[in-house]
Structure 1
Amino acid sequence: MSQPERKISEIRQTGFLHHAELIKLAKPADLLEFDRGLYKHWALYAGGGMVINVCGEDCNKTEAWVRLQPIQYVCDLHPVPRYRLVRINNTPDVPGCLLRPTPRLPDRAMEEARLMLDTKVPYEYEGRNSEFYCNLWKFGRIFSEEAMKAGKNGII
């Protein structure tokens, strides 16, 4: 018997976990939040322990690559073990918005993200960051809580 399709409006959030525990719970198109201490990093879960990740090669660059990468690799990028944890966070926190955006169907979100694989995209910490792109794929809207914290309006 096949599993029922997830509801479009399903919103889930977990606590921060080791990546091996998280992949037991994650489903394709879940937003993953990586704890980096002073900031958060985001990726879209693709299934099979892989994520679609917006990653730069140098912190001073204004461009980043959209890559399919193992979740373990993304977790292990931080040198401090306590900042290698990740959680499912499908709960959008849209600054200044009373209504939460409706997530796209998982297949649609994954299709949008896969179209951008192996491409360079504009990147800036206070705007077009990993959260910006993940929200674009998941919700079809572009917003960033990190940008809001940095003093921008958060909706781009």
Structure 2
Amino acid sequence: MTLQGQRKPKAGDLIEIDRGFYKHWSVYVGDDYIVHITGLTGMPDWSFVSSSNGQAIVKKEPLKHVVGKCNYRVNNKYDKTRQVYPVSEIIVRANNEVDKLWTYHLFAKNCEHFATEIRYNEAQSDQAYTAVAVIMVIGFLILLI
């Protein structure tokens, strides 16, 4: 587990975990814990999509348990363009979601959508937009062949 960037997480921060070809997002709630969505069976991230009909669960877990050997960083990337809830409200909002079921959709309701909704009250996922754009370009290129 390696922290990338300038500072350690503070309560209310968004945590971006580098899983290689995708990023897993969570909300840091203090005391080395995060709140994030994961599979019903404990499987990490998107691996649950095919095994549980897109059902996930919101969990509060130790940061180091979820990060494992991956790199991670604080990434409050929309702070300059979105209204940020007060930290106390972010913590309450995140903790209120723990143990609730989450219907996961890679492009419309993923872990980044969850985390940004908690911090900014606006679900957004740049990696979902990027994935859709790549799929569209590949489809266009296939049509040209």
Q: TM-score range with shorter-chain normalisation?
A: 0.7 to 0.9
Residue in structure 2 matched with residue 141 of structure 1 by the alignment: 122
Secondary structure class of the residue paired with 1:141: coil
The whole-number CA distance in structure 1 between the counterparts of 2:56 and 2:88 is 24
Query: Normalised by the size of structure 1, how large is the TM-score?
Result: 0.72
Residue in structure 1 matched with residue 2 of structure 2 by the alignment: 18
Query: After the TM superposition, which segments of 4 or more aligned residues of structure 1 sit over 6 Å from their partners?
Result: none
Deviation per residue, 1:38-79 (Å, 9 max, x gap): 111001001111100111132413111101101111112xxx
Secondary structure class of the residue paired with 2:115: helix
List runs of 5+ in structure 2 lacking aligned partners: 42-47, 134-145
Residue in structure 2 matched with residue 122 of structure 1 by the alignment: 103
Shift of 1:139: 0.1
Alignment of 1:67-106 (within 5 A): 67-76=59-68, 81=69, 84-92=70-78, 100-106=81-87
Residue in structure 1 matched with residue 36 of structure 2 by the alignment: 53
Query: Normalised by the size of structure 2, how large is the TM-score?
Result: 0.77
Query: Match of 2:60, as an amino acid?
Result: L
Determine which structure has the larger strand proportion and give its number.
2
* Percent identity of equivalent pairs: 24
Determine which structure has the larger helix proportion and give its number.
2
- Cα RMSD between the aligned structures? 2.2
List runs of 5+ in structure 1 lacking aligned partners: 1-16, 94-98
Bigger radius of gyration: 2
Q: Aligned pairs, how many?
A: 123
Residue in structure 1 matched with residue 11 of structure 2 by the alignment: 28
